[in-house]
C-alpha cells in the first residue's frame, strides 16, 4: 500500500513538473529585455554581432537613394533612411561612414529586434558644394544580404550670391 502511494505521489510530481516546464517554454516575454552580445570586456555589441555570422539577419531599406532637390550653397538638408530588420536575429549597425565631411549621421547602436524598424538621420551641409552633388553613406551591418550597404543622395546646389567688392 505504501509503495502504491509513493508511486502516485512521484507520478503527480512528475506530471506537475512537466506542465510547469511546458508552460514556461511558451513564455516569450522573458526575451523582450535581452541585450544580445552585452559584455563587460569593453567590446561594443555591434562588433561582436559582426563576427557571429551564423546569427546574421537581413535588412530592408525603404528608400536607399534620396534626391534632396535644389538648394542654395550654405544651406543644410536633413532626411532619414528608414530600414527594417526582416530576419530572425537582432540587427546591429556597427558603422556608418559618409563619403565626405559635409555629411553627419545619427543612428542607434542598440539591437533592433526582428520585425522592428529604425532610421539613420542625415544632415548634409552644402557649404563649398556647387552644381550637381552626389554623396554616399556606407552602412556596416550584421546582415547576410550584404554586410556593407551603400546609401546615396543627390541634388543640385546653386551658388550663393556673394556681395560684390566693387561699389
153 part of a folded domain: yes
Q: Cell 508511486 maps to which residue?
A: 7
- pLDDT digits 0-9 by tens, 111-158: 999 999 999 999 999 999 999 999 999 999 999 989 999 999 999 999
139 part of a folded domain: yes
- pLDDT digits 0-9 by tens, 48-58: 888 888 899 99
122 part of a folded domain: yes
12 part of a folded domain: no
- 119 CB burial (10 A radius; 0-12, 13-18, 19+): middle
Give the domain extent around 136. 46-158
38 part of a folded domain: no
Q: Look up the pTM and report it.
A: 0.74
| Residue 99 near residue 135, CB atoms below 8 Å | yes
- How many whole angstroms separate alpha carbon 157 and alpha carbon 131? 5
Q: Cell 526582428 maps to which residue?
A: 114
- How many domains in the chain? 1
137 part of a folded domain: yes
25: Cα within 13 Å, side-chain hemisphere: 6
- pLDDT digits 0-9 by tens, 58-115: 999 999 999 999 999 999 999 999 999 999 999 999 999 999 999 999 999 999 999 9
Give the helix/strand (H/E) hosting 126.
none
Nearest C-alpha neighbor of 155 from the set 137, 136, 131: 131
Q: Residue 117: which CATH number?
A: 2.60.40.10
Amino acid at each position: 500500500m505504501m509503495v502504491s502511494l509513493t508511486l502516485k505521489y512521484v507520478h503527480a510530481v512528475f506530471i506537475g513538473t512537466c506542465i510547469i516546464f511546458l508552460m514556461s517554454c511558451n513564455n516569450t516575454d522573458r526575451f523582450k529585455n535581452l541585450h544580445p552580445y552585452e559584455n563587460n570586456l569593453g567590446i561594443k555589441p555591434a562588433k561582436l554581432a559582426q563576427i557571429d555570422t551564423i546569427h546574421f539577419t537581413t535588412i530592408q531599406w525603404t528608400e536607399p537613394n534620396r534626391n534632396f532637390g535644389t538648394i542654395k550653397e550654405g544651406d543644410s538638408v536633413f532626411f532619414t533612411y528608414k530600414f527594417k530588420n526582416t530576419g530572425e536575429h537582432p540587427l546591429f549597425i556597427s558603422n556608418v561612414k559618409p563619403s565626405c565631411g559635409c555629411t553627419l549621421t545619427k543612428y542607434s547602436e542598440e539591437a533592433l529586434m526582428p520585425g522592428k524598424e529604425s532610421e539613420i538621420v542625415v544632415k548634409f551641409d552644402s557649404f563649398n558644394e556647387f552644381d550637381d552633388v552626389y554623396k554616399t553613406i556606407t552602412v556596416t551591418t550584421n546582415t547576410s544580404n550584404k554586410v556593407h550597404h551603400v546609401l546615396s543622395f543627390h541634388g543640385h546646389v546653386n551658388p550663393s550670391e556673394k556681395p560684390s567688392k566693387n561699389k
